[in-house]
Structure 1
Amino acid sequence: MLKIHCPQCNKSFLWTDNMPTQDKCPTPDCSWNYNIHAELKKNVNRHAVEVKSQTLHCPFCQGEIASKFTICPHCSQIVMGKKMLKKRYFFLAVCLILVILSLIFKYWVK
């Protein structure tokens, strides 16, 4: 299925596999002829431009980063979505969690 937008009547319709590859717009008063191959190329090119424009930036230094959850190679901050966290705070949080878990296992599991 492919959504095709008619430039003459400004309406959209869904092309399915059982429809012809070249035909008229299904709107009764419209005489525009569609070609599924040309419309598919337009659709692919439009999505390719959208993908290229979605570069991610570090919220601290605005450097380009690879993913939403990573360590920024420019400023060494831990990036979690739109938030950031310094490495030492992350390390302290992990240590605190491990200490709490070790105390729980020490006193509850005997």
Structure 2
Amino acid sequence: MGSTAKAVVTGFICRLCSEQKKSVIHLYTEKAKKLELLKKIKLLPISVDKFDNLPKTICNQCLHRLEAQYDLLEKIRRSNTIHHSHRIYHSNGRCPAECLLAWFR
């Protein structure tokens, strides 16, 4: 694979885990756009800039972890919306039987 310096230039270093990998996805490709990688990475406590001198690739293992994290965050957001709506619509404390959150009683 060569040196680490060469790997950064040729795209073998993962931006997220900093490990050298044979298979990576470049953050500014059509595939990355379809996967919304930059949107998902923005949820992490890092900043990615197209013109910085850091790697612009992520490995498949980090991709799967990023996807899982994003899916969890989306599930939490949807759940929070449901709970918020539940609180507004059933503020009297009585849930109708058809309420999805009736089990909270």
- TM-score, normalized by length of structure 2? 0.34
More helix by share: 2
More strand by share: 1
Ranked by relative contact order (alpha carbons within 8 Å, sequence separation 6 or more), the top structure is 2
- TM-score, normalized by length of structure 1? 0.33
| Structure with larger Rg | 1
